[in-house]
Structure 1
Amino acid sequence: MFEVKKVIGSLLMPLPVTLLLLALCLLFIARINIKSYLAGWLLVVSLWTISTPFFADILITPSEKRLAPFSTSKHQHIDYVVVLGCGVSPAPRLPANLQLSGCALSRLTEGLRLLHAYPHAQLIVSGAGDGKTTSSAMMGKTAIALGIRANKIIQNPRARDTAEEALLLATRLVDSKVALVTSASHMARAQDLFSAQGVDTLAAPVQFYSYGNSPEYRRFIASASVLNAVTTYVHELIGRQWIALRRMIDPQAL
C-alpha cells in the first residue's frame, strides 16, 4: 500500500500529470495529419523518458562514478578551499543563507567541512550575482554566521562564470594546494578551466545524484527534479563542447 501511495503521488506531480494529460489529448486529436500526430506522441514519450530516474541513471551515473568525495585523510595540507558560485536570489528581508540556491548551499557546506579539517587554509567564495547581491557575498555572510572568522574568507564577486573564476583567481592560487568545491556534474569542466590557467586542483565534488539507488517504483515515473538533473548534465556537455570549439579557433582561449 505504501508503494502504491507513492506511485500515485508521484504521478500527480506537475510534470507527469501534464504529460499524461497531453497524451490523453492526443488520443482525441483527429488523425488527419499522421506525421504531426506521431511527432506529438514521440515528443511526449521522449520527454517522459528523459525525466525518469532510469534514463538519468544511464546518462549521469557513469560520470559520477569517476569522482569520489574529498577524503581529508589523503591530504595533509590544503592552502585554499575554493567554493564556486551557484546562484543567488536577492531578498534583503531574508538572511544570507536563505538567499543562496540549494546548489550554492551544498557547495558551501562542503567548503566549511574542509575548512574545519584544514584550519590553516583560507576559504575563497566566488560568483557574481544580481546587482549588489552576489553569490560570493551571500556565501561569505553565511560562512561568518556559521562561525568562520571574516579574515579567513576571500571573496571573488566579479566572476560571472567558471572561466572568469579561474582567470581571476589564478594569480593567487598558482603553486598552492587547492581544494575545488563544485557540483559533481560540473567538476570536469571546472578543473579543466583552472588547469588552463596553470592551477592544479583537488576535486571536492558535491551534489551526487545517485539515481542508481532510486526505489524501483519510481524508476520509470517522470519527475521534474530528474529533468532538472538531466538538463544540468546537458548544460555541462554543451559547455565542454563550447570550450573545445573556442580552443580550436583560438588555442589561447579559456
Structure 2
Amino acid sequence: MDVIFSFKKLVIALISPLSVALIIGLVGWLYLLAGKRTRATVLILCSLVITWAASFNPIGDALMRSHEAQYQAFQYRDDLDVAVIHVLGGGHAESRRFVNGVQMSSSSIARVTEGIRLANLYPDARLVLSGYGGYSGVNKLTNAEAAKIFATSLGMDEDRIDLLTESKDTREEAIDVEDMVQDGRLILVTSASHMPRAMAIFKQEGLHPIAAPTYFLGSDVSERYYPSYEAVQKSQRYFYEKVGLLWIELRAWMNAE
C-alpha cells in the first residue's frame, strides 16, 4: 500500500503545471540541439506561457475562487446533534528548534484551529484528528499526534480528542472514522480547496458529513500582477484537486462496471 500511495503522489507531481512546463521546455531544448528550430521555439514558448500562467496571481485566484465556492464556511446551528468533528491531516515538520518539537503546516494550523472552534460550539462532540507519519517514514510523530500536541497547546481538553494515526489518505480517513460517528452528525474539517474531493470520498464511503472548510486560498481581489510563489501554490493546488476529482469519478465508474 505504501508503494502504491507513493507512486500516486509521484504521478500527480509529474503532471502538475510546472512539471509539465519543465518537461515541454526540456524537449524544446533537445529539439534546439538537434537543429530543429521551429519545433524548439514552439515548445519553449509553450513552456514559458504555462509557467507564466501558473504563477500569475489573478489566474490562480480565479481558479481557486470557483473551486472553493462549492462549500461555504460553517455557521453554528443549534439543531445539530454533532457526534464527531473530524479534522483531516495536513502535514507537519519536526525539529528541536520548534516549540514542543513540532511545527504544523499552514493548512494544518487552520484545520486544527477550526476544529477547536467547532469543538467549543459543540461541547459534547469528539474531536478526531487523523493523519499518519509521512511519505518517508522518518517522522517520529504521526500527523494526528502532532495535531494533538498543537490542539492541547491551544487549550483543547485532550480527553475529548481521538486519533486516527494509520490513515494515509482521505479515503482511509473516511473508512477509519465511520465507526465513531454512530447516530450523531459528522462535521468534516479540511482546507477549502480539498473539501469538494473530501466530501465526494466520504459520501462514496456511505457517510454524509457537514462541510466546514477553512484555509481559503482564492482571494476576491488580486492585488499583485507579477509572478509569485503564492500564485504557483494556488494553480498547483487547483490542478491537483481537479485531477483527484477525476480519479474519484473514474474509480466510481470502474466499481460500477
| Bin for the TM-score computed over the shorter chain | 0.7 to 0.9
1:109 aligns with 2:117: no
* Secondary structure class of the residue paired with 2:113: helix
Equivalent residues of 2:61, 2:234 under 8 A apart? no
Q: Which runs of 5+ in 2 are unaligned?
A: 1-17, 19-24
Q: 1:197 to 1:156 in 2, by over 3 A?
A: same
Q: 1:68 to 1:147 in 2, by over 3 A?
A: same
* Secondary structure class of the residue paired with 2:93: coil
User: 1:153: how far off?
Assistant: 0.2
Residues 79-117 of structure 1, C-alpha deviation per residue, up to 9 Å, x if partnerless? 211100011223255335842111111100111111111
Match of 2:38 in 1: 34
User: 1:41: how far off?
Assistant: 2.2
Equivalent residues of 1:183, 1:207 under 8 A apart? yes
Equivalent residues of 1:52, 1:227 under 8 A apart? yes
* Secondary structure class of the residue paired with 2:220: helix
User: 1:71: how far off?
Assistant: 0.4
Compute the RMSD of aligned alpha carbons: 2.6
Q: Which runs of 5+ in 1 are unaligned?
A: 1-14, 16-21
Match of 2:7 in 1: none
1:179 aligns with 2:213: no
Counterpart AA for 2:106: G
Q: 1:75 to 1:227 in 2, by over 3 A?
A: farther
**Correspondence 1:118-197 to 2 at 5 A:** 118-130=122-134, 131-197=139-205
CA distance in 2, matches of 1:229, 1:96: 30
User: 1:173: how far off?
Assistant: 1.7
CA distance in 1, matches of 2:120, 2:114: 10
Based on CA coordinates, which of the two structures has the bigger radius of gyration? 1
* Secondary structure class of the residue paired with 1:199: coil
Aligned pairs, how many? Answer: 225
* Secondary structure class of the residue paired with 1:125: strand
CA distance in 1, matches of 2:163, 2:247: 27
| TM-score, length-scaled by structure 1 | 0.80
Match of 1:9 in 2: none
Match of 1:244 in 2: 249
1:91 aligns with 2:95: yes
**Correspondence 1:5-16 to 2 at 5 A:** none
CA distance in 2, matches of 1:36, 1:75: 63
CA distance in 1, matches of 2:132, 2:66: 31
Counterpart AA for 1:56: G
Q: Which moved more, 1:79-88 or 1:60-69?
A: 60-69
* Secondary structure class of the residue paired with 1:211: coil
Equivalent residues of 2:87, 2:188 under 8 A apart? yes
User: 1:45: how far off?
Assistant: 2.3
Query: Share of identical aligned residues, percent?
Result: 29
Q: 1:84 to 1:97 in 2, by over 3 A?
A: farther
Equivalent residues of 1:170, 1:194 under 8 A apart? no
| TM-score, length-scaled by structure 2 | 0.79
User: 1:175: how far off?
Assistant: 3.1
